[in-house]
Structure 1
Amino acid sequence: MNDDITILVHGFNRGRRDMAYLEAGLRRQGWHTRALNLPTLFGDMDDCVAAMSAQLNDIQGRYRRVHYVAHSLGGLITLNFIRETQPQNIGHCVFIATPHGGSHLAQIASWIPGYARIFKPVAELLPTGAYDNCHAESGLSLGVIVGCRNSGLLGKLFLSDQSDGRVEVASACAGAARETILLPFGHQEIHHRPETCAQVLAFLAQGRFSR
């Protein structure tokens, strides 16, 4: 673990503090970590990837392996970062509640005049399915954690019970993931739960979840 580092990537309209719970859990187990701060409210995907590259520029060649743990939109940003920079020392990746097939809530938001133009990351969250099989192309060792508790008013109004209140279960389940596990939490809480942290630690260490 001393030769590895884990990069934590937050989701839409959040910052590095949103990954603090997972970061603290990893550090207690001896993992080196770095939580990023990306422009996920007004910046487009290119802006987010550029910010990620700039914040990781100094770790090149310093670690044997670089792992990635991302929540929601952070998983899509991580995929684009890997595509564009093609790092050679990728370890394991864990994506939590990432909408690989898009989000119907994002689609509804995009119908509001001007919304997607102002909040540019919404374009990446539309239900196109563009990210579903890209893990196979890149050969990632990917574990996907999916929330399956529909919580919150928006989820109750617009999504089925097969969702986490923001992202549908089917969208979060990437077809090319090495392993997928469902946890009974909502989108906003799943990455702040000890059960999730335990599964992240298991996958980072062994390349598989704890059953």
Structure 2
Amino acid sequence: MSDYRVILLHGYNKDERDMYPLGELLEEEGFVVDYLNMPLTFGNMEESVYLLKELLCDLKNSGISQRDEIILIGHSVGGLVIRAALADRRMRRVVDRVVLISTPNNGCKLADMAGKYLPFLKKIYKPLKSLERKKFQELRLYSGKDIEVAAIAGSEPEMFLGRFLAEKNDGRVEVEEVRVKNLKDFLVLPLNHKAIHKKLGTAKYIANFIKRGSFRAD
């Protein structure tokens, strides 16, 4: 029976340390956990996509992907990095399952607002430019069926920026911005953007999906 190797990808303006709480919880579930540190504050998103593809190639060449199931889990923009890497069909031969947590899969209204009212931010924080909905379609993102992909959205808009979003949201990303076609499973949790990937309940749902292909245990 294959073992599971989980790779965690952090979001915008963070580093791998932001994923440590989830990693520790998944290790308690018996998974081997690795982290990918990416330049998602000032660097172009393409740089992070390159790093993930390089890691996946290393796993393939080492033979690990033949012994273990490779699971990619991305929080926020980290999920977009995953989908961009998987647009390359060679990468899809390495990965078995994917979980996207609070990922703006259809662009982000807050990025639109930042681009309109604070355009200088895009020059400093380069990933923001890719999240604008008018630019979002330029990203090549995987949305197929040959890999099992699930997504988790938050519905607790207690964070300050949540008040600028009209729909149900997690304070940063609307629920419907997370939902994308061809998902194997979709879950909404009453948590905000900064907390959703650090809670025991979230880790339990993810463990269910890794083992069974569904967030629910039954």
TM-score for both structures, normalised by structure 2: 0.88
Residue 29 (structure 1) shift = 1.8
1:155 and 2:159 correspond = no
Counterpart position of 1:62: 64
Aligned to 2:25: 25
Superposition CA RMSD, Å: 2.1
Q: CA deviation at 1:198?
A: 0.6
**Contact 1:149/1:185 (<8 A) preserved:** yes
Partner of 2:114: 109
Change (3 A) 1:25 1:174: same
With over 3 angstroms needed to count, the CA separation of the structure-2 counterparts of 1:109 and 1:71, relative to structure 1, is same
Counterparts of 1:76 and 1:103, CA distance in 2? 12
1:140 and 2:144 are equivalent in the alignment: no
Contact 1:2 1:32 in 2 (8 A): no
Q: Distance in 1 between matches of 2:94 and 2:149?
A: 14
Whether the 8 Å CA contact 2:83–2:141 is kept in 1: the answer is no
- CA distance in 2 between counterparts of 1:133 and 1:52 reads 14
SS of 1:146's partner is strand
The answer to whether residue 8 in structure 2 is matched with residue 8 in structure 1 is: yes
Structure 1 residue 58: deviation in Å?
A: 3.0
- For residues 18 and 67 of structure 1, the distance between their equivalents in structure 2, rounded to whole angstroms, comes to 18
Report deviation, 1:44.
0.9
Ranges in structure 1 where 5+ consecutive residues have no aligned partner: none
Alignment correspondent of 1:194: 200
CA distance in 2, matches of 1:98, 1:185: 14
Residues 165-184 of structure 1 correspond to what in structure 2 (within 5 A)? 165-184=171-190
2: CA distance, partners of 1:55 / 1:187: 27
Amino acid at match of 1:141: E
TM-score if structure 1 supplies the norm length? 0.91
Distance 2:96 2:114 in 1: 35
1:35-114 residue pairs with structure 2 within 5 A? 35-60=35-60, 61-64=63-66, 65-84=69-88, 86-87=90-91, 88-111=93-116, 112-114=118-120
Mark the runs of 5 or more structure 2 residues left unpaired by the alignment. Answer: none
Query: Given that residues 86 and 141 in structure 2 are in contact (C-alpha distance below 8 angstroms), is that contact kept between their aligned partners in structure 1?
Result: no
Percentage of pairs with the same residue: 30
